[in-house]
């Protein structure tokens, strides 16, 4: 490769590197949250009841929405911002978008695990869901829901989530970070209490009159 060719390729490589760095930065700054910031998730297990299935013993597709609701309420309880707290803060949070994709059926008597994970919160409340078979771990259903804050007094939709949500999420994240640090931080041993493996053993003190 000639020096001229190498020089001509440098701008393209620089642009590609810059694009990769920009993409990585955008992903890290998604929702203005650092990549290491914990986001809450909750899982509930349940057994598909008889009254939820059709004549083929398969859960009717509409009941899956209720399964998601149960997991969502557990997650909101973790933040201390379930529907009663929403109402007390002056906001309703109606669902404006709900999507489900069925990969496999849930059947009568089957134990399933429903996981809800907070995905977005700054301008809307978006949760992702996965339903799996407890025994095999096979994914049965995935989906997401989107809710927005609406003032109870004026019925106006907010373009940004209110502090009632963001402050609770920040408090939960802080508590999780403290818990994680306390579990992973190495204990600081007292140097005076640390035994030197190479040092000779110290004989035990003798008692009585020398």
Number of domains in the chain: 1
Q: What is the pLDDT of residue 22?
A: 46
Q: Residue 81: name the closest of 170, 177, 164, 160 by CA.
A: 164
* Span 133-138, average pLDDT: 97
**Would residue 112 count as lying in a domain?**
yes
Interatomic CA distance for residues 186 and 189, integer angstroms: 9
**Would residue 202 count as lying in a domain?**
no
Interatomic CA distance for residues 197 and 32, integer angstroms: 50
**108 falls in which pLDDT band (50, 70, 90)?**
very high
Of residues 148 and 6, the one with the higher pLDDT is: 148
Q: What is the pLDDT of residue 152?
A: 97
**Would residue 55 count as lying in a domain?**
yes
pLDDT at 126 over 70: yes
Q: What percent of the chain has pLDDT over 90?
A: 65
pLDDT at 185 over 60: no
Q: What sign has the CA pseudo-torsion 93, 94, 100, 104? A: positive
* Span 29-53, average pLDDT: 79
Q: How is residue 28 written in tokens?
A: 């890290």
Q: What is the pLDDT of residue 179?
A: 76
pLDDT at 157 over 50: yes
- The pTM of this model reads 0.70
**Would residue 42 count as lying in a domain?**
yes
Q: What is the pLDDT of residue 163?
A: 96
Interatomic CA distance for residues 75 and 81, integer angstroms: 9
Considering the chain, what is the average pLDDT of its residues? 81
152 vs 147, 149, 204, CA distance in Å? 15, 9, 76
pLDDT at 23 over 80: no
Interatomic CA distance for residues 25 and 13, integer angstroms: 18
Q: DSSP 3-state assignment of 38?
A: coil
Residue-number span of the structural domain to which 43 is assigned: 30-169
**Would residue 201 count as lying in a domain?**
no
Q: What is the pLDDT of residue 38?
A: 84
Q: What is the pLDDT of residue 104?
A: 96
* Span 178-185, average pLDDT: 70
- Cβ pair 91, 168 in contact under 8 A: no
User: What are the φ and ψ backbone dihedral angles of 96, each rounded to 5 degrees?
Assistant: -110, -10
pLDDT at 35 over 50: no
**For the chain, percent helix, then strand, then coil, each to nearest 5?**
40, 25, 40
Q: What is the pLDDT of residue 198?
A: 45
- The CATH number of residue 163's host domain is 3.10.129.10
* Span 68-93, average pLDDT: 97
**Would residue 73 count as lying in a domain?**
yes
Q: What percent of the chain has pLDDT over 70?
A: 70
pLDDT at 188 over 70: no
Q: What is the pLDDT of residue 182?
A: 72
**Would residue 96 count as lying in a domain?**
yes
């Amino acid at each position: 490769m000639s020096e001229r060719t190498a020089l001509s390729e440098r701008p393209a490589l620089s642009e590609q590197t810059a694009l990769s760095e920009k993409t990585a930065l955008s992903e890290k700054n998604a929702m203005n949250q650092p990549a290491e910031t914990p986001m809450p998730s909750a899982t509930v297990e349940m057994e598909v009841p008889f009254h939820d299935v059709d004549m083929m013993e398969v859960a009717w597709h509409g009941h899956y929405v209720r399964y998601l609701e149960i997991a969502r309420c557990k997650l909101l309880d973790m933040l201390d911002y379930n529907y009663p707290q929403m109402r007390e803060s002056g906001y309703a949070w109606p669902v404006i978008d709900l999507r489900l994709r069925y990969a496999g059926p849930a059947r009568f008597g089957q134990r399933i695990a429903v996981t809800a994970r907070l995905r977005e919160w700054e301008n809307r409340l978006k949760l992702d869901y996965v339903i799996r078979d407890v025994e095999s771990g096979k994914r049965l259903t995935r989906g997401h829901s989107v809710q927005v804050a609406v003032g109870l007094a004026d019925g106006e939709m907010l373009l940004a989530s209110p502090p009632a949500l963001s402050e609770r999420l920040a408090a939960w994240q802080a508590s999780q970070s403290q818990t994680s640090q306390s579990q992973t931080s190495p204990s600081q041993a007292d140097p005076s209490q640390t035994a030197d493996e190479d040092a000779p053993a110290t004989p035990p003190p003798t008692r009585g009159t020398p």
